[in-house]
């Protein structure tokens, strides 16, 4: 090798670190648009951390908003892992010191993307530090904890939101609009299922999702929480009373290190419900339904029509109404990706579909837009309390084998 040539070449320029480039870009974008930045500290950086940070990077590119959202600091518990997350998810900084991050004046919004047992402590610390908070669902471990969070949020003067992202699928949003304007008449029945199969095998590994001390409950809090929120969103009704049934099919699993760990949460949880207008509902959540991956389906029957939405066909809405001639009646499918449909006009030309990740972008866009006024964002911690009240009542019912009234 000709080392003299190598010696005469100029030193290659060191690329500027990616976080510095990101900072310059977001500051530049905010300045160009003349809008203030909204610096976000995100706690937790795995599944939801990935979904949320993707939303942070996309939101200003597709929505006109009063703030430029900046993924500022990602917070974790292990220095190496949180640094890797910073690099991968596009944050400017990484930290393992949540208290220090909360003490900073330049952090405006705290995003809670950790397991359920830390939602309360992180949200409460963030609110006390004067930050806006977006928290993952279910809001809390139980109703008492959820109420404490909602009370503090109400007196904090800060905005809070829950990541019930499915509300903001264009088709689900359209369903809400149709039901609210009376397209199917008064709601009589709700049929909701959320079916998954990742715990069907007894060999599936143990995780925090099998540990009641960390998650509160199993399929119930994880999946029925979405169905309960969706019911309240779509129908505007509350839950009056419930009757639940739960079962754990695999009572111990091996963790990543091969150690046997007890499973003390439900694998499957079903419940009946009476809604506030007398309508009846059936709910089923499971992680042990072979073949079902993320089958989140809700069908609402009203006096004059029905509406059906299924996450696995997320851009479609099936609607039945009695207003066609008798021989032309039937369910029709609306592809909800045309410009008159909620959110659709922010993306691509008509019919160019969107996916799972966009629901998080919509949730963040609405939250950021809402920061400007006094109106509450929905779902907020009060909605989280309402969901938690139903979850807890259904557990109590399953334990006592009787109907339980949902506390208001
Ligand atoms: N909205 C949805 O559709 C949806 C989907 C999945 C999960 N979730 C909810 O999101 C939350 C997180 O779930 P996930 O799937 O991302 O879990 P995950 O296990 O993939 O990630 C959890 C992250 O939190 C970190 N963490 C754990 N405890 C912590 C603590 N005390 N302090 C700081 N960091 C901590 C972990 O290191 C990890 O980075 C849960 O509440 C879950 O119910 C919501």
pLDDT in tens, 299-332: 999 999 999 999 999 999 999 999 888 999 999 9
What is the distance in A from the centroid of ligand 1 to the CA of 331? 38
Q: Whose CA is nearest to atom 31 of ligand 1?
A: 118
For residue 153, give both structure tokens: 């949020």
Give the CA angle between residues 314, 88, 159 to the nearest 5°: 60
What is the distance in A from the centroid of ligand 1 to the CA of 320? 38
What is the distance in A from the centroid of ligand 1 to the CA of 250? 23
Calculate the dihedral angle through the C-alpha atoms of 115, 120, 125, 130, rounding to the nearest 10 degrees. 110
* Residue 15's pLDDT band (cuts 50, 70, 90): low
Average pLDDT score over residue span 120-130: 98
* Residue 60's pLDDT band (cuts 50, 70, 90): very high
Average pLDDT score over residue span 269-289: 98
Q: How far is CA 31 from CA 36, 68, 268, 293, 320, in A?
A: 8, 9, 51, 44, 49
Q: Whose CA is nearest to atom 27 of ligand 1?
A: 114
**171 backbone dihedrals φ, ψ, rounded to 5°:** -70, -40
Sign of CA dihedral 346, 351, 352, 356: positive
**Is residue 279 over pLDDT 70?**
yes
Greater model confidence, 173 or 7: 173
* Residue 32's pLDDT band (cuts 50, 70, 90): low
Strands 187-195, 239-247: parallel, antiparallel or unpaired by DSSP? unpaired
Among 98, 136, 357, the mutation site with the greatest number of ligand 1 atoms within 8 A of its Cβ is 136
What pLDDT does 3 receive? 45
- CB of 114 within 6 A of ligand 1: the answer is yes
DSSP state of 238: P
Alpha helical stretches, state H, 157-207: 170-180
**Is residue 8 over pLDDT 60?**
no
What pLDDT does 70 receive? 98
DSSP state of 239: E
Measured CA to CA, the distance from residue 150 to residue 271 in angstroms comes to: 26
- Of 23-37, 101-115, 299-313, the range with the lowest mean pLDDT is 23-37
Partnered with residue 68 across adjacent β-strands are 37
pLDDT in tens, 151-204: 999 999 999 999 999 999 999 999 999 999 999 999 999 999 999 999 999 999
Sign of CA dihedral 406, 389, 279, 288: negative
Strand order in the sheet with 187-195: 332-335, 316-321, 305-310, 295-302, 187-195, 280-286, 268-275, 239-247, 404-405
* Residue 30's pLDDT band (cuts 50, 70, 90): low
What pLDDT does 2 receive? 44
- CB of 118 within 6 A of ligand 1: the answer is yes
Best CA proximity match to 122, nearest among 95, 94, 102: 102
- CB of 77 within 6 A of ligand 1: the answer is yes
What pLDDT does 28 receive? 67
pTM recorded for the entire structure: 0.94
Max CA-CA distance within the chain? 89
- CB of 356 within 6 A of ligand 1: the answer is no
What is the distance in A from the centroid of ligand 1 to the CA of 221? 13
- Burial of 259 by CB count in 10 Å (0-12 exposed, 13-18 middle, 19+ buried)? exposed
- CB of 222 within 6 A of ligand 1: the answer is yes
Q: Whose CA is nearest to atom 7 of ligand 1?
A: 48
- CB of 88 within 6 A of ligand 1: the answer is no
Q: Whose CA is nearest to atom 15 of ligand 1?
A: 47
What is the distance in A from the centroid of ligand 1 to the CA of 115? 4
DSSP state of 406: P
Greater model confidence, 11 or 167: 167
- CB of 397 within 6 A of ligand 1: the answer is no
Domains delineated in the chain: 3-165 (3.40.50.720), 166-405 (3.30.360.10)
**Is residue 1 over pLDDT 50?**
no
- CB of 92 within 6 A of ligand 1: the answer is no
What is the distance in A from the centroid of ligand 1 to the CA of 215? 10
Measured CA to CA, the distance from residue 191 to residue 11 in angstroms comes to: 67
Q: What number of other Cβ atoms are within 10 A of residue 170's Cβ?
A: 27
The answer to whether 280 and 272 have CB atoms below 8 angstroms apart is yes
Best CA proximity match to 277, nearest among 241, 237, 227: 237
């Amino acid at each position: 090798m000709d080392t003299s040539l190598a010696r005469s070449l100029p030193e290659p320029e060191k690329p500027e670190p990616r976080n510095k480039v990101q900072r310059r870009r977001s500051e530049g974008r905010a300045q160009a648009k003349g809008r203030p930045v909204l610096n976000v500290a995100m706690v937790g950086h795995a599944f939801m951390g990935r979904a949320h940070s993707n939303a942070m990077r996309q939101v200003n590119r597709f929505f006109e908003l009063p703030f430029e959202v900046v993924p500022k600091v990602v917070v974790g518990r292990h220095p190496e892992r949180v640094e890797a997350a910073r690099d991968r998810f596009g944050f400017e900084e990484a930290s393992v010191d949540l208290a220090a991050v909360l003490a900073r004046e330049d952090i405006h919004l705290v995003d809670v993307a950790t397991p359920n047992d830390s939602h309360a402590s992180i949200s409460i610390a963030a609110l006390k530090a004067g930050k806006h908070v977006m928290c993952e669902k279910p809001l809390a471990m139980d109703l008492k904890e959820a109420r404490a969070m909602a009370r503090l949020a109400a007196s904090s003067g800060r905005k809070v939101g829950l990541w019930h992202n499915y509300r903001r699928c264009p088709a689900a949003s359209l369903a809400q609009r149709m039901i609210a304007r009376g397209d199917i008449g008064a709601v009589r029945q709700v049929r909701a299922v959320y079916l998954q199969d990742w715990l069907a095998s007894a060999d599936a590994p143990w995780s925090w999702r099998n540990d009641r001390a960390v998650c509160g409950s199993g399929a119930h809090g994880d999946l029925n929480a979405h169905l309960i929120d969706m019911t309240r969103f779509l129908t505007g009704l509350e839950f009056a009373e419930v009757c639940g049934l739960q079962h754990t099919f695999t009572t111990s699993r091996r963790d990543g290190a091969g150690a046997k760990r007890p499973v003390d949460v439900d694998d499957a949880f079903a419940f009946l419900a009476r809604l506030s207008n007398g309508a009846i509902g059936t709910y089923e959540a499971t992680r042990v339904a072979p073949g079902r991956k993320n089958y989140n389906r809700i069908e609402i029957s009203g006096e004059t029509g029905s509406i059906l939405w299924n996450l696995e066909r997320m851009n479609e809405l099936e609607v039945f109404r009695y207003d066609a001639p008798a021989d032309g009646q039937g369910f029709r499918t609306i592809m909800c990706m045309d410009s008159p449909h909620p959110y659709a006009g922010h993306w691509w030309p008509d019919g160019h579909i969107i996916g799972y990740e966009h629901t998080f972008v919509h949730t963040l866009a609405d939250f950021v837009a809402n920061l400007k006024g006094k109106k509450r964002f929905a779902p907020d911690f009060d909605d989280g309390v309402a969901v938690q009240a139903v979850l807890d009542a259904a557990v109590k019912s399953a334990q006592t084998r009787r109907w339980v009234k949902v506390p208001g």
